[in-house]
Chain A
């Protein structure tokens, strides 16, 4: 059985995550009307640079706890939505998936919104870093200062998700 939340070196596939969010039992079997699946891919260009490959690293135990936090936020905001979130680390080639997010829900609006919210929160607070190797050099990409308690950032993710 696939974990709903994971960080690891194995290639990502949507099928396992879709199956994981569909593993319901009892009264909820058949209750879903929507599954939204998102893959984040390694792009061959960034800021005008020709990207050759990326290397991802994570503070794994904290990354998993952060994924649990995000799953809790999703449950609070969109009760009944089921979430699977996997992030890959290590060296990734152009076109490979770095992150996979699957959400299921009775209705599509919640599944879409919860999915978008999840990727925004991953980018805000998950202790994961990418190092870009491009033609002519390499650079650590530095985005957001991670602060799970920053309510303004969380609210921003929610606004983007519900736009």
Chain B
């Protein structure tokens, strides 16, 4: 199945793209997509403990299972205001 990955702020700069399409195995979780990304972009690794994640524009935990067509977002620490 296929998911869309959204990256923001410095995560986007590291990957060089705001949006990526990735094929993932059935049963894939947000966490497994993150691990796939960190192997592609090792500079993302240090963000492991600092990021938040979302599925289809709702905050979701890393163990959330994904479905075909989902939009997964990885969010570095926020700095609004």
By a beta-carbon cutoff of 8 Å, the part of chain A in contact with chain B is: 40, 56-59, 61-63, 65, 87, 98-99, 119, 122-131, 140-149
**Is B80 touching A128 in the complex (CB atoms < 8 A)?**
yes
Q: Determine the main DSSP class of B at the interface with A.
A: mixed
Which of B52, B73, B75, B79 has the most C-beta atoms of chain A within 10 angstroms of its own C-beta? B79
Top 8 nearest A-B pairs (CB, nearest first) are A128-B80, A129-B9, A141-B79, A142-B77, A61-B57, A140-B10, A146-B52, A143-B79
Residue of B nearest to A127 (CB): B75
Alpha-carbon separation in the docked complex, A142 to B49 (Å): 13
By a beta-carbon cutoff of 8 Å, the part of chain B in contact with chain A is: 6, 8-10, 13, 50-52, 54, 57-59, 73, 75-81
Q: List chain A residues, Cβ under 8 A from B75.
A: 59, 127, 146
Q: How many A-B residue pairs have CB under 8 A?
A: 89
Q: List chain B residues, Cβ under 8 A from A87.
A: 80
Alpha-carbon separation in the docked complex, A130 to B79 (Å): 6
